[in-house]
Amino acid sequence: MKELKLKAIDENLSVVLDTTEAFLEGQCSEEIKNEILISIDELFINIAHYAYGAEEGEAYIKLEMKEEPKSIKITLMDWGIPFDPFAKEDPDIDLTLEERKIGGLGIFMVKDYMDQVNYEYRDGSNIVTLVKKL
């Protein structure tokens, strides 16, 4: 298990991704590793940009390996504005670029890449849990 608690700012994204990449070393294929990194990137940046409004706040990330089935469980937490990133309707990817609304593709990709996604707001915390089978 690996845990990080750090300021939710763009500059800390590299720490989060480097830590995740090291944690995954030898555990999965490059494709799966990239899907996990893209998902964490999307969610961490959303926390950094939106969770605290104009203020600065913290983010907590926990990485856990599970054996049966072999998978990684990722928990991202913040203490900002309550927001369920998975509640919004998925974008219609069959529309042309001109017809599509801006935004929403990142979370759509997270939901596509991960085997499980969950959001809950508990005790003043936004808690996102992701599971990816390895």
Q: What is the CATH number of the domain that holds 26?
A: 3.30.565.10
CA dist 19 and 123 (Å) reads 27
Q: Which residue has the higher pLDDT, 68 or 94?
A: 68
Q: Is the pLDDT of residue 97 over 60?
A: no
Q: Is 77 helix (H, G, I), strand (E, B) or coil?
A: strand
Task: Provide the CB-side half-sphere exposure for 101 (13 A, CA).
Answer: 7
Q: Which residue has the higher pLDDT, 93 or 64?
A: 64
Number of independent structural domains in the chain: 1
CA dist 32 and 44 (Å) reads 18
Could you tell me the residue range of the domain that residue 67 belongs to? 2-133
Confidence of residue 65 (pLDDT cuts 50, 70, 90): very high
